[in-house]
């Protein structure tokens, strides 16, 4: 779990906390709007995946500083990989705060946060939207995402109704709706939003800039109706390509509810503040076959299969149960905190045919994984040469005339 690299090392550095079974990913860049991703190849198996969306930026309202209210959401599930797979982790950046005086657009957070436009009268600039946090496999395009935590949009000052509307939480099946007084925009969802992955830019209108929309599975819209200002919506979460497994229920929780924190200190929070975060945890032993399966095995031979096995930490115990043609074998290994190898020596059935070797792998803590390997058992033709015939043939060759 320690072999992660960055997509680009320019203005970025690894910011992970890892052990043999888990990696916590934190934001790797100094700039919250321009960053890169983490990547590695993970072997097949079951992984608990958690993602926390970033927060939107702070804003200025009639010259007064307002803390960010658009908190990021949280999504969790189990990712099942059937084989070694390239995995990418994108951590959302917090939206940039509005400025006083407002001299430029506030920049949206990395991975989809919407900007907030420059405020031409200087003291009512909304904050930019936060960027989404997501995990992708087999490519780093948006369509490769398997789980997403939506990020908070940000509020702006409503210059018509002199209000400050904090509805811009991210995450959940739907993100928070953009709002201006009694007017609500459309929430980002599983099928709709400003754009797939990207929040809308907040606009200057009527004396104030609205907050930017948060990134997410679908990024959020912003709003401006009769007057300027208003809050950008929050991006939606996504759990469409993860599963519930081993007591872990897949779910996506919006940033206006209580969620677990990435570090566990404190254990929970009301939505997530700051840049985003992600965690990947191995939740079971899995067998990686290091031998090539032959087209056919002889009934006379012993089959030797070697498996590389991940660690679940010192003190765990790996139990491998193999079933072939009704015969069962149990192999156990005491985990010492490092990956290890298991060798299975198989005496084939004396019946010819196609078989499936079924492996069930159990940890002491109760996690169970399985692996199936099809094999064919048959006679392998063997050629034997009589010793006397070989001697006669050798003499014949010696007596042949030389050309």
> ω into residue 266 within 30 of 0, thus cis?
yes
Shared-domain flag, residues 296 and 269: no
Residue located via tokens 């907030």: 116
Q: What pLDDT, on a 0 to 100 scale, did the predictor assign at position 76?
A: 98
Residue of 118, 121, 96 whose CA lies nearest to 107: 96
Shared-domain flag, residues 188 and 218: yes
| Residue 158 clears pLDDT 90, i.e. is over it | no
Is 16 inside any structural domain?
yes
Is 52 inside any structural domain?
yes
- If one compares 159 and 381, the residue with the highest pLDDT of the two is 381
Is 387 inside any structural domain?
no
How far apart are alpha carbons 318 and 285 in whole angstroms? 7
How far apart are alpha carbons 233 and 237 in whole angstroms? 13
The answer to whether the CB of 207 falls within 8 A of the CB of 121 is yes
Q: What pLDDT, on a 0 to 100 scale, did the predictor assign at position 159?
A: 44
Q: How confident is the model at residue 183 (pLDDT cuts 50, 70, 90)?
A: confident
Last residue of a domain, one of 258, 283, 308: 283
- If one compares 205 and 87, the residue with the highest pLDDT of the two is 87
- If one compares 141 and 161, the residue with the highest pLDDT of the two is 141
Shared-domain flag, residues 249 and 368: no
What length is written for the chain? 403
Is 214 inside any structural domain?
yes
296: which 2 tokens?
């056919």
How far apart are alpha carbons 7 and 45 in whole angstroms? 24
Shared-domain flag, residues 57 and 116: yes
Split into its structural domains, the chain has a count of 2
What is the average pLDDT across 358-379? 91
Is 315 inside any structural domain?
yes
Q: What is the pLDDT of residues 187-240, one digit of tens each?
A: 899 999 999 999 998 877 766 677 788 999 999 988 765 555 677 889 999 999
| Residue 170 clears pLDDT 80, i.e. is over it | yes
SS3 297: strand
Residue of 214, 185, 189, 179 whose CA lies nearest to 200: 214
Predicted model pTM? 0.82
Residue of 91, 88, 90 whose CA lies nearest to 39: 88
- If one compares 23 and 383, the residue with the highest pLDDT of the two is 23
Q: What pLDDT, on a 0 to 100 scale, did the predictor assign at position 122?
A: 63
> ω into residue 101 within 30 of 0, thus cis?
yes
| Residue 21 clears pLDDT 50, i.e. is over it | yes
Is 364 inside any structural domain?
yes
Print the domain residue range for 263.
1-283
Shared-domain flag, residues 263 and 319: no
Is 307 inside any structural domain?
yes
Q: 348-351: which pairs have CB atoms within 8 A and are 24 or more residues apart?
A: 348/297, 348/298, 348/299, 348/301, 348/302, 348/303, 348/377, 349/299, 349/324, 349/325, 349/377, 350/299, 351/325, 351/377
Q: What pLDDT, on a 0 to 100 scale, did the predictor assign at position 73?
A: 95
What is the average pLDDT across 248-265? 95
Last residue of a domain, one of 249, 283, 317: 283
Last residue of a domain, one of 218, 253, 283: 283
- If one compares 284 and 133, the residue with the highest pLDDT of the two is 133
How far apart are alpha carbons 178 and 236 in whole angstroms? 13
- If one compares 386 and 378, the residue with the highest pLDDT of the two is 378
224: which 2 tokens?
């401006």
111: which 2 tokens?
């991975």
Give just the sign of the alpha carbon dihedral 259, 87, 48, 187: positive
Shared-domain flag, residues 356 and 226: no
Shared-domain flag, residues 118 and 149: yes
Shared-domain flag, residues 373 and 327: yes
Q: What is the pLDDT of residues 309-323, one digit of tens each?
A: 988 888 899 999 999
| Residue 93 clears pLDDT 90, i.e. is over it | yes
CB atoms closer than 10 angstroms to residue 212: 43
Shared-domain flag, residues 29 and 83: yes
How far apart are alpha carbons 304 and 348 in whole angstroms? 11
Count CA atoms within 13 Å of residue 390 on its CB side: 4
Q: How confident is the model at residue 99 (pLDDT cuts 50, 70, 90)?
A: confident
Q: Who contacts 100 (Cβ-Cβ below 8 Å, separation ≥6)?
A: 60, 63, 65, 122, 123, 125
Shared-domain flag, residues 17 and 47: yes
Is 191 inside any structural domain?
yes
- If one compares 121 and 212, the residue with the highest pLDDT of the two is 212
Q: What pLDDT, on a 0 to 100 scale, did the predictor assign at position 53?
A: 96
At 79, give phi and psi (nearest 5°).
-100, 120
What is the average pLDDT across 242-262? 94
Shared-domain flag, residues 258 and 303: no
Q: What pLDDT, on a 0 to 100 scale, did the predictor assign at position 182?
A: 73
CB atoms closer than 10 angstroms to residue 175: 41
CA-to-CA separations, 38 to 29, 149, 167, 298, 344, in angstroms, rounded: 11, 16, 31, 46, 36
Distance of CA 59 to the CA centre of its chain: 31
Shared-domain flag, residues 211 and 345: no
| Residue 100 clears pLDDT 90, i.e. is over it | no
Q: What is the mean pLDDT of the chain?
A: 86
Count CA atoms within 13 Å of residue 132 on its CB side: 33
Q: What pLDDT, on a 0 to 100 scale, did the predictor assign at position 340?
A: 95
Q: What pLDDT, on a 0 to 100 scale, did the predictor assign at position 16?
A: 97
How far apart are alpha carbons 106 and 97 in whole angstroms? 6
Q: How confident is the model at residue 157 (pLDDT cuts 50, 70, 90)?
A: very low
- If one compares 118 and 69, the residue with the highest pLDDT of the two is 118
Q: What share of the chain is helix, strand, coil (3-state, %, to 5)?
A: 5, 40, 60
Q: What pLDDT, on a 0 to 100 scale, did the predictor assign at position 64?
A: 66
User: CATH number for the domain including 314?
Assistant: 2.60.40.3880
């Amino acid at each position: 779990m320690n072999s992660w690299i960055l997509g680009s090392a320019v203005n970025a550095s690894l910011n992970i906390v890892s052990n043999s079974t888990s990696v916590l990913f934190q934001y790797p860049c100094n700039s919250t709007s321009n960053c890169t991703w983490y990547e590695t190849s993970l072997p097949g198996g079951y992984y608990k995946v958690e993602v926390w969306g970033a927060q939107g930026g702070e804003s200025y309202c009639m010259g007064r500083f307002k803390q960010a209210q658009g908190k990021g959401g949280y999504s969790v599930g189990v990712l099942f990989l059937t084989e070694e797979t390239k995995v990418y982790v994108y951590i959302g950046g917090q939206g940039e705060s509005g400025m006083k005086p407002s001299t430029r657009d506030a920049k949206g957070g990395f991975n989809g946060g919407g900007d907030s436009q420059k405020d031409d009268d200087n003291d009512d600039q909304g904050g930019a939207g936060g960027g989404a946090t997501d995990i992708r496999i087999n490519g780093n395009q948006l369509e490769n995402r398997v789980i997403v935590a939506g990020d908070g949009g940000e509020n702006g000052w409503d210059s018509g109704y002199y209000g400050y509307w904090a509805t811009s939480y991210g995450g959940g099946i739907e993100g928070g709706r953009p709002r201006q007084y009694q007017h609500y925009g459309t929430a980002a969802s599983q099928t709709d939003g400003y754009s797939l992955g990207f929040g809308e830019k907040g606009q200057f209108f009527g004396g104030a800039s609205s907050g930017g929309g948060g990134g997410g599975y679908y990024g959020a819209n912003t709003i401006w109706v009769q007057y300027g200002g208003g809050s950008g919506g929050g991006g939606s979460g996504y759990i469409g390509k993860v599963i519930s497994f081993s007591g872990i229920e897949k779910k996506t929780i919006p940033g206006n509810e209580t969620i677990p924190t990435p570090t566990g200190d404190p254990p929970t929070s009301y939505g997530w503040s700051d840049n985003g975060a992600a965690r990947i945890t191995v939740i079971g032993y899995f067998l990686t076959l290091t031998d090539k399966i032959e087209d056919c095995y002889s009934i006379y031979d012993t089959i030797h299969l070697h498996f590389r096995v991940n660690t679940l930490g010192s003190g765990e115990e790996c139990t491998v149960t193999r079933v072939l043609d009704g015969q069962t074998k149990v192999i156990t290994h005491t985990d010492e905190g490092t990956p290890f190898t298991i060798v299975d020596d198989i005496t084939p059935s004396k019946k010819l045919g196609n078989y499936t070797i079924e492996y069930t792998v159990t940890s002491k803590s109760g996690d169970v994984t399985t692996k199936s390997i099809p094999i064919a058992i048959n006679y392998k033709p063997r050629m034997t040469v009589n010793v006397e015939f070989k001697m006669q043939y050798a003499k014949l060759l010696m007596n042949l005339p030389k050309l």
